[in-house]
A = this chain, B = another copy of it.
């Protein structure tokens, strides 16, 4: 019998690669996507395409209102600049950081895992490219896993040992792209840009586009997406 796993799938490059890694490790993936803020509809569409193409057992999109509290360029829709000079990519905490985002995402994943009686959650956090994000650090993930093992019905009954899998945590973007390519990932299906054109094509300028493009450069592979001239 296949082991069920909840896979957090944004529709971006990282989480899509994680879906293929979970499958490759023999898990039956249950893909979980969040709709928050307005800028992410292209990404949600991408998540749906990828879940379908790569055999997710189920795909659930949960609406959450991360904008209720303010505090991020990704949910505020105000004028905090999203593209900073590339040299500053690793300096401090980006304005695109969303307060407690991974904590909220993992908490919904935990709820679904409990209902599915799944012992495994996959999340595409990365400690290198996102060094400014507190909730992408290995010590955070370990603490979350400890908490999660006390939080659930199965935990109290002693018959579950929940694992948070972070297969990308120490990989560079280039290594992630190479890994996904080896597993058959078609990165044309993914959406990365924070500030896409009306066509859904990437802007090529935002932090996320810059990281992605540099990642492809490092592999010698070509990004299949269409960027502005």
Q: Could you list some 27 contacts between A and B, CB below 8 A?
A: A62-B65, A63-B63, A63-B65, A68-B108, A68-B112, A69-B112, A69-B115, A71-B111, A97-B153, A99-B112, A99-B152, A99-B153, A100-B108, A100-B110, A103-B110, A103-B151, A104-B107, A104-B111, A106-B107, A134-B155, A134-B156, A139-B150, A140-B150, A143-B143, A144-B147, A144-B151, A147-B147
Task: Give Cα A117 to B3, complex, Å.
Answer: 41
Contact bitstring A47-67, B, C-beta under 8 A = 1, else 0: 000000000000010111110
Query: Which residues of A does B touch, CB under 8 Å?
Result: 60, 62-66, 68-71, 93, 97-104, 106-108, 110-112, 114-116, 134-135, 137, 139-140, 143-144, 146-148, 150-153, 155-156
Q: Chain B's nearest CB lies how many Å from the CB of A208? A: 19
- How far, in angstroms, from A99 to B114 measured CA to CA in the complex? 6
B147 and A70 within 8 A (CB): no
